[in-house]
Amino acid sequence: MTNPPSSDIPAQYDAGATERALYAAWEAAGLFHAESAQTTRGGGTRDPFTIVIPPPNVTAVLHVGHGLNNAVQDVIVRWRRMAGDEALWVPGTDHAGIATQNVVEKLIAAEGSTRFAMGREAFVERTAEFVRQTGGVILQQLRAIGASADWSRTAYTLSPELSHAVRECFVRLYEKGLVYRGYRVIHWCPRCLTSLSDEEAEFKDTHGKLYHVRYPFADDPAQSITVATTRPETMLGDVAVAVHPDDARYRHLIGTELLLPIANLRIPIVADAFVDKEFGTGMVKITPAHDPNDFEAGKRLGLAMPVVITPDGHMGEVHDADGRVPASLRGLERFDARKKVVKMLQAQGFLVKIDQHHHAVRHCYRCHTVVEPRLSDQWFVKMAPLAKPALEAVQAGKVRIVPERWNAVYVNWMEGIRDWNISRQLWWGHRIPVWHCACGHDAALREDPTGGCPRCGGAWTQDEDVLDTWFSSWLWPISTLGWPDKVDGADLKAFYPTDVLVTAPEILFFWVARMIMAGLEFTGRVPFHTVYLHGTVRDMQHRKMSKSLGNGIDPLEVVEKFGADALRWTMIAGMGMGVDVLLDPDDLEKSFAPGRNFATKLWNIGRFLLMQVGHEPVRALSSLDRASFRSADHWIVNRLADAVFDCDAALGPARPPQGTWPEHQRQVGLRLDAHAEAARRFLWNDLADWYVEACKSRLAEPGEDRELARALLVHCFDHGLRLLHPIMPFITETLWQRLPGYVDGTWLMKAAWPVAPARSDASSSFDVVKDVITAVRQIRNDYALPPTQQLTAHLLGNAAAAEIALAERVFVQRMARAELATADVAALGAAAHALLAGGLEVVIPLEGIVDVARERGKLETELAQLDKQLASLRARLGNAGFTDKAPAPVVDAERAKDVEWTARVAQLRAKIRAMGGA
């Protein structure tokens, strides 16, 4: 016996000290580490089970969203580890291109410098140093919430290995023609000075204005047409006005010329089918360089594409725009320019009217600046060929997405997928591995070139741009496991494909969909079989928690105050599938009460139970003689079986059979809240509220019966702790290691996941006992009898009262001792029934104390209904037998129903009979 005496268990659980020490002990024991050789794919015996972390930004600090995300992953990975898998959780961070660059730019701005003043090399080095000094804090913080990640495999998207993966990926796609250079209108952030992908340019509903502007005819200035625009400053880049070719109103005008106000240029009226005849005047100005739509039209019509806005969002004659921007507007910031242009139009009589306009405007997802559509040279990935297999993989069930509703969203996006702009005009990130020469030759290279241009020998310079951060993220499941350098390596072989990906729906397209594409493209296999999309943590007004709103919750503060277990329990148990978690940042006490309360309760259950059972080892469940079981013993064993069954059902299958999810299993499992509830119900409502109470008197007297109770208490608590461990790892491990018979050096974290014990059908008599006790408690409450006072004869007034009174006295002791004193289960049941029946007779005159009569009436009503339905069903089955109209499966289903209802009828009859009826 190496566990400390139970009397040493402190009355208060000190989560802080316990958790820190225990985490260190787990880590020192190497319990987080997964070994490829242990897996079936690596020659071992365990199924591999892998989760890769959604890598947080390397500069991030832990917020409650990370807390939820990682708690979910940890629950799943701990469950699989106990279930016997070689479970690997790969941690790591993302270099987070724009985000990190912005942080460092702000830093050097405070020092009075800019990245341009520093120069590229110095700036990148400064950023790398910043990351070395302060980065990865979040990985330390994850330990505080109990994350059982394999830290020996910590990855970073900008590490040499992962940079290799990025480069290999780029070159392969380039060689296949799937990466290409395009000159087109893209989303441009004038503050970050970079292009953005469609996903990075987020729509925000905005109250704007719609300006109606008169464009006079060049040859007859008295006549004019009117166009509408939300961005009047872009009119300086107008090259035409378009109408729909079928628009009868304007067909005769096609080819005539207008005089563009302010710029004073002649522009033609052209025809293009993209114009909506119904919108506004049916005439639209064409600004090819500053609107993606106009760009396409301009390309079709062979129009010029003057650029009149500078990269940093000021008016200027940037390209092909000589003389378009008047001196008075040049150098003006775009929104100031808008005001000024409107004023000028008004002064010159060209402004017709201004309407309020509600529309969606794209903003930079990093700095929230309004995005400027802008013509520029960028790198793109051709997505359609990559999307097709990724779409099919989901439709075929190679990958399932839970909850289900995101399937449709995924399919919808994949079907309408557009090419991905992957170049960023940033310095922090993977530089595009393409070298250009003045002679026009360029190439994507796996290794930096040593000489000059292979074609002409001239200067050979690398592309200035870096890659979108997500271009490294989409390789995460394969790159963290060794692709491409160790493509035959043990890790990739053992742990890829991974299993479950846990993340928020916001990055379904940014990340998840693209990982599926990359996995299929580079390994031919999907990167994971399950995508688990959880909700968002919000405040009581349903607002997303954010720094700017000041409504965030610091998980470390919660851990400090209530412990990691309380944090985890509150989030996991309070989280429906894909449903948001609501927490009150202004009342942590209340928000985390469920977790804190349960942790305390658990501690007290453990403290009492361990004190009662002492230190002597107990017998194994399998060695107990069930013939000597009390009804309570049968009952608790059945409740444990229920709990194991419920937890398993909630968690579901760990992996798809034969690699593909059958239709009926695609939405089954990973119900962590249901798992939590099943474990809680067993430990609290079954074990503590009833079984522990039932055992109190038995434990007082030494002997066989005491040994039986001890064995069952220990076994049930042990297995309850196992079920709960994935959610509340610290307190469960702490209590588990104090159980009698604990073997030094073993860990709950590695203990076997419970298997349901064999059921006993002799437990129902304990249910009757519970019913009787509950009934008496109701009487007592209804009549406001203090617990020490018996239900007396003067109240009930006949012989049955003596029995009630007896029971009452016993129940004051929390349990029917009379019941517990006899081993004859049948006799116990009979006694309880008699009690209930006796109570019924006595109580009915008192009106509404225990309305067993009503209960019985309801049962009889139901029975009558069921009989009627059964007759009807049988009639229908009979009919079906004589015709071939009803398809066979329906008949089978109804026959099954017939059997089921027949059984229920029998059950109800028995129940009514047991209540003292016919």
Cα 762 from Cα 205, distance rounded (Å): 64
Sorted by sequence, the CB contacts under 8 Å of residue 222 that are 6+ apart come out as: 216
The closest alpha carbon to 341, from 377, 287, 382, belongs to: 287
Question: What's the min distance (Å) between Cβ of 788 and RNA?
Answer: 8
* Per-residue x/- track, 179-218, RNA (CB under 7 A): -------------------xx---x------x--------
Could you give the CA distance from residue 569 to residue 673 in angstroms, rounded to a whole number? Answer: 9
For RNA, the closer CB: 519 or 578: 578
Residue with the two structure tokens 């937890």: 647
Residue 855 interacts with RNA (CB under 7 A): yes or no: yes
Question: Which residues 341-360 are close enough to bind RNA by CB under 7 A?
Answer: 357, 359-360
Measured from the CB atom, the residue of 830 and 877 that comes closer to RNA is: 877
Query: Taking the mean position of all CA atoms in its chain, how far away is CA 406?
Result: 12
For residue 291, which of 273, 271, 269, 306 has the smallest C-alpha distance? 306
What is each CA distance from 485 to 159, 166, 431, 480, 825, in whole angstroms? 13, 11, 19, 11, 68
Cβ closer to RNA: 51 or 773? 773
Tell me whether residue 51 or residue 641 sits nearer to RNA (CB atom): 641
**CA–CA gap between residue 367 and residue 389 (Å, rounded):** 34
| Chosen residue from 57, 293, 461, 665 binding RNA by CB under 7 A | 293
Q: What does the alpha-carbon distance between residue 274 and residue 165 come to, in Å, rounded to a whole number? A: 42
Site for RNA in 408-427 (CB under 7 A): 408-409, 412-413, 416, 418
58 to each of 93, 191, 527, 605, how far by Cα in Å? 5, 22, 23, 42
Which one of the spans 23-31, 346-354, 432-440, 784-792 is the region binding RNA (CB under 7 A)?
A: 784-792
Minimum distance from CB of 134 to RNA (Å)?
Answer: 31
Residue indicated by tokens 């064995």: 711
Beta-bridged to residue 774, according to DSSP, are: none
Of residues 162 through 181, those in contact with RNA by CB under 7 A are: none
- Measured at the CA of 574, the angle between CA 573 and CA 577, to 5 degrees, comes to 90
Q: Least distance to RNA from the beta carbon of 608, Å?
A: 3
Least CB distance from residue 168 to RNA, whole Å?
28
Contact set for RNA, span 387-406 (CB under 7 A)? 405
Looking at the Cβ atoms of 560 and 782, the one nearer to RNA is 782
Binding RNA (rule: CB under 7 A), the pick from 274, 335, 645, 783 is 274
Q: How far does Cα 268 stand from its chain's mean position?
A: 53
CB of 237 to RNA, least distance (A): 12
- Between CA 826 and CA 762 the distance in angstroms is 9
Tell me, residue by residue from 710 to 749, as one string, x for binding to RNA by CB under 7 A and - for no binding: ----------------------------------------
Site map 544..583 versus RNA, x via CB under 7 A: -----------------------------xx-xx-xx-x-
Q: Which of 127, 194, 229, 638 binds RNA (CB under 7 A)?
A: 229
* Shortest separation between residue 408's beta carbon and RNA, angstroms: 4
**Distance of closest approach, residue 45 Cβ to RNA, in angstroms:** 32
275 is a site residue for RNA (CB under 7 A): yes
Instruction: Give the residue with the Cβ less far from RNA, 582 or 891.
Output: 582
Distance, in Å, from the CA atom of 823 to the CA atom of 34, rounded to the nearest integer, reads 49
Exactly one of 435, 509, 528, 661 binds RNA (CB under 7 A); that residue is 509
Beta bridge mates, 376? 184
Q: How far is the CB of 720 from RNA (least distance, A)?
A: 13
Residues 751-780 within binding reach of RNA (CB under 7 A): 774, 777-778, 780
Spatial neighbors of 180 by CB under 8 A, at least 6 apart, are 379, 380, 382
The residue range among 262-270, 289-297, 392-400, 488-496 that interacts with RNA, by the rule CB under 7 A, is 289-297
Give the rounded distance of the alpha carbon of 525 from its chain centre. 23
**What angle, rounded to 10 degrees, do the helices at 137-144 and 555-562 form?**
30
Least distance to RNA, CB of residue 763, Å: 16
CB of 605 to RNA, least distance (A): 4
CB of 716 to RNA, least distance (A): 13
How wide is the angle at C-alpha 181 spanned by C-alphas 513 and 202, nearest 5°?
45
In our burial notation (b when 16+ CB lie closer than 10 A, e otherwise), range 711-734 reads bbbbbbbbbbbbbbbbbbbbbbbb
Encode burial over 403-442: b for 16+ CB neighbours within 10 A, e otherwise.
Answer: beebbeebeebbeebebbbbbbbbbbbbbbbbbbbeeeeb
User: Distance (Å, rounded) from C-alpha 696 to C-alpha 215?
Assistant: 94
Q: Which of residues 312-341 bind RNA (CB under 7 A)?
A: none
Q: What is the DSSP string of 302-366?
A: T----EEE-TTSBEEEEES-TTTS-TTTTT-BHHHHHHHHHHHHHHTT-EEEEEEEEEEEEEETT
Q: Closest CB to RNA among 391 and 692?
A: 692
Q: 578 to 597, contacts with RNA by CB under 7 A?
A: 579-580, 582, 590, 593-594, 596-597
Q: Dihedral of CA 719/724/725/728: which sign?
A: negative
How many residues of this chain bind RNA (CB under 7 A)? 85
To the nearest whole angstrom, how small is the minimum distance from the Cβ of residue 445 to RNA? 32
Site string for RNA, 4-43 (x = CB under 7 A): -------x--------------------------------
Residues 594-623 that bind RNA (CB under 7 A): 594, 596-597, 599-601, 604-605, 607-608, 611
Stretch that binds RNA, among 17-25, 270-278, 388-396, 422-430 (CB under 7 A): 270-278
Tell me how far, at minimum, the Cβ of 359 lies from RNA, in Å.
Answer: 4
Minimum CB–partner distance for residue 633 and RNA (Å): 17
> Shortest gap between Cβ of 169 and RNA (angstroms)?
23
Binding mask 440-479 for RNA (x = CB under 7 A): ----------------------------------------
- Alpha-carbon separation of residue 672 from 76, 479, 510, 725, 829 (angstroms): 8, 29, 26, 12, 37
Q: How far is CA 473 from the centre of its chain?
A: 18
Which stretch, 262-270, 284-292, 796-804, 837-845, contacts RNA (CB under 7 A)? 284-292
Among 78, 285, 338, 725, binds RNA (CB under 7 A): 285
Q: Residues 360-389: x/- map of binding to RNA (CB under 7 A)?
A: x-----------------------------
Between 217 and 413, CB nearer to RNA: 413
- Min separation Cβ 244 and RNA, Å: 8
Tell me how far apart the terminal alpha carbons of the chain are, to the nearest angstrom: 58
Closer by beta carbon to RNA, 164 or else 904: 904
Closest approach, Cβ 617 to RNA, in A, equals: 22
The phi and psi torsions of 342 (rounded to 5 degrees) equal -60, -45
Return the H-helix or E-strand segment holding 374.
Answer: strand 372-381
Residue placing its CB nearer to RNA in the complex, 106 or 885 = 885
CB atoms within 10 A of CB 270: 21
**Positive or negative: CA dihedral 145, 129, 364, 512:** negative
Length of the chain: 918
Binding segment for RNA (CB under 7 A), chosen from 39-47, 80-88, 726-734, 851-859, is 851-859
